[in-house]
Structure 1
């Protein structure tokens, strides 16, 4: 069976991910007292493999202090769409500009259980190398995880619904978004075991 990470043609993998996302209908979550937000799942290619970029929130933010997450945040009245929210937040948090981001598609909305945020995730390719300029008020730092690591079931802790990579714990809504993406890639690329 073909595994998406074993494809050596960088452009073909990007097209495959875009095709997977384009040929599905996003599930939206709506309701009263829910706060709209959006995140970007930044993917880049480096040294023969794909990576996903994560950030670690600072201790100065109101919610989710110190947690690993994707760049993103709450929709502002000035944002024309949730995609614009994700792009604006990405630039504010890590300095990646919209002109350098290639949006491939959307995943299903995710609801945070405690804070009532509805998160709309957008999958994107970003250039590498990239010069990140982290906003210290919002982000403590950034790191990447190889996609091959995330797609290996041995690295997913089912009991805690989390990944651990080099001391970083990916859990909560971020892990749920990530699992949705990984499961979709595995199913659509024929690697579901």
Structure 2
């Protein structure tokens, strides 16, 4: 399980990822963490995007999307997109901080990444057009595959960064129009880089942040 106060402190004091790069499009995502199970384990919420033929169709991601003109900030974007995609309202969440900015390697986006936890119980209300499935994955399963040797100074490091999970037990919603065909999912690319960065920070500061 994790300590919300310690995680807040870590996010406030840890060296943030690079500031937004000029010339990129802007977007934001939200990593939602919560405790569940006996004994309690920290889980993270992921979505599987619908396989609609787009570049990111069928991929595992955090809730989020592009900054729109009406958004007052990238945090507002992350919260709006989370409500639109999975139905969790901003008032149901406590934002604990930011992991900073990450850039996508192929699509030219600067992505602001925020971390939150639920204030209250919630029910998913997914947007069927965009969301094929919602998964709640225990962090200990991801930590088992964490590779601290990856430094991202070479192309091979990016190619070797992935997390494989048997999806079945962790699917909390499945769109009947986009059934999940795979027994095992792969978290890779941008989402895997964000996850790797977060796990690196958390593990460097365990057991203050989380017991693993």
- The answer, yes or no, to whether TM exceeds 0.5 is yes
**C-alpha contact 2:92 2:122 (8 A) present in aligned 1:** no
Query: Is 1:22 aligned with 2:22?
Result: no
Structure 2 unmatched runs, 5+? 151-156, 167-183
Between the aligned partners of 1:185 and 1:15, the Cα distance in structure 2 is 13
Cα drift, residue 14 of structure 1: 1.1
Query: Is 1:50 aligned with 2:42?
Result: yes
Query: Is 1:176 aligned with 2:168?
Result: no
SS at match of 2:72: coil
Structure 1 unmatched runs, 5+? none
Between the aligned partners of 2:13 and 2:57, the Cα distance in structure 1 is 36
Between the aligned partners of 2:20 and 2:147, the Cα distance in structure 1 is 29
Between the aligned partners of 1:41 and 1:154, the Cα distance in structure 2 is 17
Q: Which residue of 1 aligns with 2:84?
A: 92
TM-score normalised per structure 2: 0.78
Cα drift, residue 127 of structure 1: 5.1
Of 41, 52, 73, the residue aligned with 1:81 is 73
TM-score normalised per structure 1: 0.85
Between the aligned partners of 1:136 and 1:61, the Cα distance in structure 2 is 15
Between the aligned partners of 1:61 and 1:101, the Cα distance in structure 2 is 32
Cα drift, residue 23 of structure 1: 1.2
Alignment of 1:35-184 (within 5 A): 35-47=25-37, 48-60=40-52, 62-126=54-118, 129-153=121-145, 160-166=160-166, 167-184=184-201
**C-alpha contact 1:155 1:164 (8 A) present in aligned 2:** no
* Deviations 1:52-99, CA, capped at 9 Å, x for gaps: 010001123744111000000000000000000000000000000000
Between the aligned partners of 2:121 and 2:160, the Cα distance in structure 1 is 33
Between the aligned partners of 1:133 and 1:23, the Cα distance in structure 2 is 34
* Deviations 1:120-144, CA, capped at 9 Å, x for gaps: 1101112575311111111111001
Aligned residue pairs total 180
**Greater RCO (CA < 8 Å, at least 6 residues apart):** 1
Between the aligned partners of 2:106 and 2:145, the Cα distance in structure 1 is 27
